[in-house]
Structure 1
Amino acid sequence: MKHFLTLGLLLTATGAALAQAPAVADTVTATPAAPVNPLTYYGFVDAYYGFDFKHPATNTRPGFLYSHNRQNEFTVNQGLVGLRYDDGRVRGAVGLHAGSYVAANYAAEDPVFKHIYEAYAGFRPFQKAWLDVGIFGSHIGFESAISKDNWTLTRSLMAENSPYYEAGARFSYEVSPQFTATALVLNGWQNIRETNQAKALGTQLQWKPTAQLLLNSSTFLGNEQPQDSLRRRRFFHDFYLTYAATDRLSLAAVFDIGTQQSAGRQGSDTWHTAAAFARLKLADKLSGTLRGEYYYAQRGVVISSLQPAATDADFRARGGSFNLDYAPTDHVLVRVEGRYLNAENAIFQQHDGRATNQYGNLTTSVALSF
């Protein structure tokens, strides 16, 4: 579920220290600095090959995995090009993308919109504030759609089943160099086109008390049912922290919890999920990341269906992964990751036609960015 918004908010919360300029003699006139071009461009290509152990006769990975979701196939997870404009008072962006991630994650979107990565316009209503309107990265989660910005190659179960993108209005305010607050009005839970007459609300708070520690709290509240269905409100909270323990070791912990009003019975269906990451710099251009995670969804709410049946089984899974990254240059990242998941129920299909509760895969990727 995930995005450039998280990186942008991290930079905003950190602020920048101004260096003292050297003294200049009265008789010397300093040459003013050349203005920085407010228009920039960017691009990203993530080509990969994945292999599932004991896989059935299909090239598709389990349905709740959306990024790098093809196996035994050389393909592109995401190819992205875009433009951004920011002169300090006005900003905006347009980015287009395609790939297996787009085909899986934007399957329900109108064809006119599914290849839009971001498209928004914004301005400063007053100092230290921004108001953006359009399509942008989600305010929820530690992981984004851009794989090179994530600590691991594949996404955690929590990221895959929470929003990667959203459409609406976003108001952010820098309370202090260490603290940023954001409020959002959205079309819904990862949908560009509106599916009903209701609007969703979101918040994000980011606090960086020290240069090593970042704390994030994000919320979502809305009705995610089609217009002809009964209203069932969904509330969701995402919390994560990152900590640079040393120059070589970084740690992260993420916890999500959500609830949605049930269909066909009283009460609500809940889900909660957590993940922990440890990233270690092994050499100048080499690093490794360990991830452990679990996911629980009552009657499979969110992870398998927006409208779970009263008889649906609960979804429970846990697992881990190990990721190796090699960066031969600043613009290229080579990654290899092994992953294992264990579910409470036999939800994974095997090549012999039987179902099992265990799943393992290997994914490799070469990513280019500019």
Structure 2
Amino acid sequence: MRGVGARAARGLLIGLLAGACLGTPRPCAAAPSSHPAWIDEVTLDGFLSTSYSYNFNRPASGTNQFRVFDFDDNTFKLDEFELVAQKPAAKARDAGFRVDLTVGSSVPRVTAAAGLFRDAAGTAGDLDVHQAFLSYVAPLGSGLRLDAGKFITGHGYEVIDGYDGWNDHATRSLLFGFAIPFTHVGLRASGAFSPRVSGMVMLVNGWDVARDNNRAKSLGAQLTVTPRPALTLAVSGMTGPERNGNNHDRRDLLDLVAIYKATSRLTLGANADFGTEANAVGPGQDGGWSGAAGYARMVLTERCALSVRVESFSDGDGVRTGVPQRIREFTLTPEHRLSPHLLLRADLRVDRSNQRVFDDPPGLTRTQPTVLVNALYSF
């Protein structure tokens, strides 16, 4: 009996131990991945901007004159929703890509390139691909980055808003809208000569054309220098024929940018542009334009900031705005960050021309005062 009892006890103990072992969580073998490995290398980011704009002139046309994206008066708008898919190329022999898909009732209509989401009549809709390019880092020096496809311009102080960077003001400067291009399609090479000096060259179809409008190509270059950690200087230029079917009359651009972080709270910036185009006014009559802008941004608290922009744009031949004029503008932008991803801001802006060009019923006036409230979310 004792033998039978011992065997029974041992059996019960073994059963309890087995049950305990079976009931104890154990690490499981990793399940085989159900998707290709490259998917893990691709990131998705996005950006959403919505706004309301009001023009105190109450233009009969319902349009704000000489504005870039905020051209509609007294309207709530979905400015832009951007979704970016990319595989970054960071080190030698890395290959990657980037695609920026945008929809909205403001930005795509302006930035769409001819031949891609802009028809032969010059009309664009609410969809655009800001960028779509392949990248490869060649093992030369510290790494020579090569891009092929469509990319935003490197000219100017301001940018087309996106998840990885937006301007201090909701409205765009005159220089951004009339002095420089938005995008290019072609080849671009960039790299660093030293920790303080970098450069870029590009061979492209031209200004804002996805399908070339003539037989010539345009050449661009940029040099960026950081003489001090708080100071960045950039000079860039571009040259090439840009008009339809014209292979000879060059459009030349010189762009200068300076950014100075004066203190941990105050950042100052400056931008200047000089452009000419051969025979733009008429045979033997070249056209030219120039402008300058100054920027200041003061961080008031962890969530609040105040930005100021002052600029002047001269289009004496009317080749960029369609009217021989000089326009000046002043913009004041308070902002408040509601959350790490959500920003609320307002642009108080006044434009003034030396000509009567602004709609002010029942006639025209030299001044255009507006206010715009903007909310943007990035992820």
**TM-score normalised by L of structure 2:** 0.81
SS at match of 2:176: helix
Letter in 1 for 2:212: E
- CA 133–171 in structure 1, closer or farther in 2 if over 3 Å, else same: same
Deviations 1:119-175 (A, max 9, x none): 000101224211100011111111111076212111110001222221110000211
Task: Say yes or no: does 1:198 pair with 2:216.
Answer: yes
Residue 325 (structure 1) aligns with = 335
State yes or no: 1:361 paired with 2:370: yes
Q: Aligned with 1:146: secondary structure?
A: coil
Q: Does 1:139 align with 2:154?
A: yes
Q: Which residue of 2 aligns with 1:118?
A: 131
CA positional deviation for 1:117: 1.6
Matched, 1:51 2:54: yes
> 1:49-86 deviations in whole A, cap 9, x for unaligned?
00011122233221x32222222111111111020102
2:96 maps to amino acid: R
In structure 1, list runs of 5 or more residues that go unmatched: 1-36, 305-312
Greater displacement, 230-239 / 199-208: 230-239
Tell me by how many angstroms 1:106 deviates.
2.3
Aligned to 2:306: 288
Name the aligned partner's letter for residue 208 of structure 1. Answer: T
1:2-21 paired onto structure 2 within 5 Å: none
Distance 2:108 2:218 in 1: 23
Q: In the TM superposition, what is the alpha-carbon distance from 1:291 to its structure 2 partner?
A: 0.8
Q: Pick closer, same or farther for the CA change 1:204–1:94 going to 2, 3 Å.
A: same
Residue 244 (structure 1) aligned with residue 261 (structure 2): yes
Q: Where do residues 157-176 of structure 1 align in structure 2 (5 Å cutoff)?
A: 157-161=174-178, 162-176=180-194
Contact 2:112–2:130 (8 Å) recurs in 1: no
Residue in structure 2 matched with residue 21 of structure 1 by the alignment: none
Match of 2:72 in 1: 70
Instruction: Give the partner amino acid of 1:232.
Output: D
Between stretches 66-75 and 104-113, larger displacement belongs to: 104-113
Indicate conservation of the 8 Å contact 2:312/2:328, yes or no. Answer: yes
Are positions 1:341 and 2:351 aligned together? yes
CA displacement, residues 272-319 of structure 1 (integer Å, 9 cap, x when unaligned)? 100000100111100001111000012111233xxxxxxxx5221112
Q: 1:316 aligns with which of 308, 319, 326?
A: 326
Match of 1:257 among 261, 266, 274: 274
Confirm or deny: 8 A CA contact 2:46 2:378 kept in the other structure: yes
User: Aligned partners of 1:117 and 1:291: how far apart in 2?
Assistant: 26
**For 1:3-58, what per-residue CA distance to the aligned partner results, in whole angstroms no more than 9, with x for missing partners?**
xxxxxxxxxxxxxxxxxxxxxxxxxxxxxxxxxx6421111110000001112223
Judge conservation of contact 1:327–1:334 (CA < 8 Å) in 2: yes
1:291–1:112: structure 2 CA closer, same or farther, 3 Å change rule? closer
The question of whether the paired residues in 2 share the 8 Å contact of 1:66 and 1:105 is answered with: no
Are 2:114 and 2:208, in contact at CA under 8 Å, matched by a contact in 1?
no
Amino acid at match of 2:67: L
Q: Hey, what's the Cα distance between the residues in 1 that align with 2:203 and 2:62?
A: 38
Residue 107 (structure 2) aligned to one of 81, 101, 109: 101
Separation in structure 2 between the aligned mates of residue 261 and residue 210 of structure 1, nearest angstrom:
38
The separation in 2 between residues aligned to 1:198 and 1:169, in whole angstroms, is 14
Matched, 1:189 2:207: yes
Per-residue Cα deviation, 1:330-366 (whole angstroms, up to 9, x for no partner): 211111010001101001111x230111111101111
Structure 2 equivalent of residue 274 of structure 1: 292
The number of aligned residues is: 324
Contact 2:89–2:135, Cα closer than 8 Å, also in 1 = no
Q: TM-score, normalised by structure 1?
A: 0.83
Aligned partner letter, 1:293 = E
Runs of 4+ in 1 over 6 A off after TM superposition: none
CA distance in 2, matches of 1:143, 1:65: 14
Q: Percent identity?
A: 27
Indicate which of 228, 239, 242 corresponds to 1:221.
239
Letter in 2 for 1:340: V
